[in-house]
Amino acid sequence: MNDLLAYGVLTIGGVITTYIGWAKLNQVGEKSDDMEEEEGIVFDIEKSASRGSISNYNSRTDKLIIRFVTKDKRWVTKKLEDGYISGTFKKGEKLKIRYNKNNPTDFIIISSKVNAYYIVTLALGVCMSVADIYLLINSSFYK
């Protein structure tokens, strides 16, 4: 029974990870009449260190502060809640921004660097799910 619970947790984790990657990639590819694109910059970077609890490692993540001007000349400056691996973006780097023209603080970065994160997340989720199903089928649970 404990094995089945462990496999179930891994499968659910894989499905959730797959969904997050898929949803983020769809968001990047989505275009609508309410969305507009402008060039923005990495205005500033907040560095943070986090201590991993599983393997006791230190990792550095960057929280980006993005600034851009909308088509109707409004300045938008916002700190993103998503953390990126330290060094992925540089202060002053230009980015393509897709924002909601009714709420410009609702925006996403259009970048191959960001897409790479989402693709890796999607691939990781699929691999977790497939590996878990394989292990479940070959476990003593079905024998």
Q: What is the DSSP string of 17-54?
A: HHHHHHHHHHHHH---TTEEEEEEEEEEEEEEEEE-SS
Which has more confidence, 41 or 54? Answer: 41
**Rounded Cα–Cα distance for residues 26 and 121 (Å):** 13
Please say if the pLDDT value at position 55 is more than 60: no
Q: Model's pTM, two decimal places?
A: 0.60
Candidates 72, 66, 63, 61; CA nearest to 95 is 66
CA 115 from centroid of its chain's CA atoms: 8
Tell me, what's the pLDDT at 53?
Answer: 47
CB 94 within 8 Å of CB 83: no
**Stretch among 10-19, 28-37, 103-112 having the lowest mean pLDDT:** 28-37
Q: What is the mean pLDDT of residues 50-67?
A: 64
Q: Which residue has the higher pLDDT, 65 or 32?
A: 65
Task: Indicate the DSSP class of residue 89.
Answer: S
Q: Over range 57-86, report the average pLDDT.
A: 81
CA dihedral 70, 74, 79, 85 (to 10 degrees): 30
Our count of domains for the chain comes to 1
**Residue 50 to residues 19, 38, 59: CA-CA distances in angstroms?**
25, 32, 6
Name the least confident of 9-18, 26-35, 81-90.
26-35
pLDDT(109) > 60: yes
- Structural domain including 89 reads 2-142
Torsion-angle region of residue 73: left (phi > 0), alpha (psi -120 to 50) or beta? Answer: left
Span 86-104, average pLDDT: 88
**Using an 8 Å Cβ cutoff, are 77 and 66 in contact?**
yes
pLDDT at 140: 62
C-alpha 70, offset from chain centre: 24
